[in-house]
Amino acid sequence: MAVRPDYYATLGVDKKASAEEIKKAYRKLARQYHPDRNPDDKTAEERFKELSQAYDVLGDPEKRKQYDSGSGPFATGAGGFGGFQNFEFDASSMGDILSNLFGAGRGRRTRARPERGQDLQVEVQISFEQAISGAQISLSVPMRGLCDTCHGTGAKPGTTPKVCPHCEGRGIETQGQGMFSISQPCSRCGGSGTVIETPCPTCRGTGAVRTVKRYKVNIPPGVKEGSRIRVAGKGEPGERGGPAGDLYVVTHVGASPIFKRRGEHLEVEVPLTIPEALKGAEVTVPTLNGTKTLRVKPGTKHGTVQRLRGEGPPKLASGTPPKRGDIHYRFVIDVPEKLTPEQQEAVEALSKVMNGNPRARLFSGAFSEAGES
């Protein structure tokens, strides 16, 4: 009569150990004696078999219950001890255990699943006005598309793909390697589970051809240089029934002779004459929707900025109607390169009455600090 193995002692746990404690103990010992870490070590191999056998029983609540009570296949006299005197290590079933415990990915593999199509990206040139107001543009997108002759099956019309005779449609093949069996995609069908005996003459069995798709794409108002617009489902078609990828449209915006983009706002340079800057004035400035009048205060300096709130470009994804940025008007003093005799006379008369030195404050502080030191 075979001796009853003590699985609790094998795993080094108490008989009252919880399922989590048993699992933790097994994980620790399985790592230590795993054949991958102990190549050509028969002792470690046997120890790993014992650990696997013990966990196969104690890791299963129903088997553990029968083992503890000595009933069922674990009853004494039932072929020695539950038939385990002829225990054989099943690498494929252990692969599932290891996969669950360690995430090792040794579990059985299924045939190739549907795959999502590739995303595509195209770049488009649009005008400044189109970027501000939005537009609908036409695109020609080169891509990999389904073959119209075989409708993506890869088989010649009138024929169909056959179940792969090598893997019998499972999409995997298993090879023995020592005490383990290793599963990998079928070398005949590549994991699809089917083979094409008579390929489509158009796509040569691939189910796909290079084609050009034409789309009309809406460019939303407010896009900038380098904005990336996603068009869902307009990328390459998926494989084996998988969903299509997405199309991304990247915008390149032409320059405006008047408006300069500054983040969410626009900037306009507004020239002022010297008298306008000195006396003040009302000047007409461009907007995105016509013109407006700005009041220039007397004594306006070069580089002074006035802002029109909410008159700038739309902000993307800001609701309906969209929020808008501002327009910043930067005043610059326009100094003529040459003066007429009348202008020269006027400037000399002005210099006589405005003869102060605006640079004096640059030196008064500097000299006083030097004297104190």
Each residue of 147-204: pLDDT tens digit? 889 888 889 999 988 888 888 788 888 765 544 556 778 888 877 788 888 999 998 8
Global pTM value:
0.57
Q: How many helices (H) and strands (E) does the chain have?
A: 9, 15
Confidence bin at 106 (pLDDT 50/70/90): very low
Q: What pLDDT is attached to residue 87?
A: 41
Mean pLDDT of the chain: 83
SS3 helix, strand, coil % of the chain, rounded to 5? Answer: 25, 25, 45
Residue pair 320/222 in contact by the 8 Å Cβ criterion: no
Q: Comparing 193-197, 218-222, 310-314, 356-360, which segment has the lowest mean pLDDT?
A: 356-360
Q: What's the CA gap between 345 and 2, in Å, rounded?
A: 126
Q: What is the pLDDT of residue 105?
A: 41
**Rounded CA separation 309/292 (Å):** 13
Taking phi first (over 0 means left), then psi (-120 to 50 degrees means alpha), and beta for anything else, what does residue 26 get? Answer: alpha
Domains, the chain: 7-102 (1.10.287.110), 112-159+204-255 (2.60.260.20), 162-195 (no CATH), 260-353 (2.60.260.20)
Out of 164-173, 304-313, 345-354, least confident range: 164-173
pLDDT bin (cut points 50, 70, 90) of residue 240 is low
Most confident of 22-26, 144-148, 298-302, 356-360: 298-302
Q: Is the sign of the CA dihedral 176, 177, 180, 183 positive or negative?
A: negative
User: What is the model's pLDDT at position 204?
Assistant: 87
Average pLDDT over residues 27-42: 81
Residue of 241, 164, 91 lying closest to 172 (CA atoms): 164
Is the separation of the CB atoms in 290 and 327 below 8 Å? no
Residue of 95, 111, 93 lying closest to 103 (CA atoms):
95
Q: Which of 185-189, 196-200, 224-228, 231-235 is predicted with the least confidence, judged by mean pLDDT?
A: 185-189
pLDDT value for 234: 94
At 305 the pLDDT is 97
pLDDT tens-place string over residues 75-85: 654 444 444 44
Alpha helices in 59-150 (DSSP H): 61-69, 91-102, 128-133
Residues 79-84: contacts with CB under 8 Å, at least 24 apart = 80/1, 80/2, 81/2, 81/3, 81/4, 81/5, 84/5, 84/53
pLDDT at 75: 61
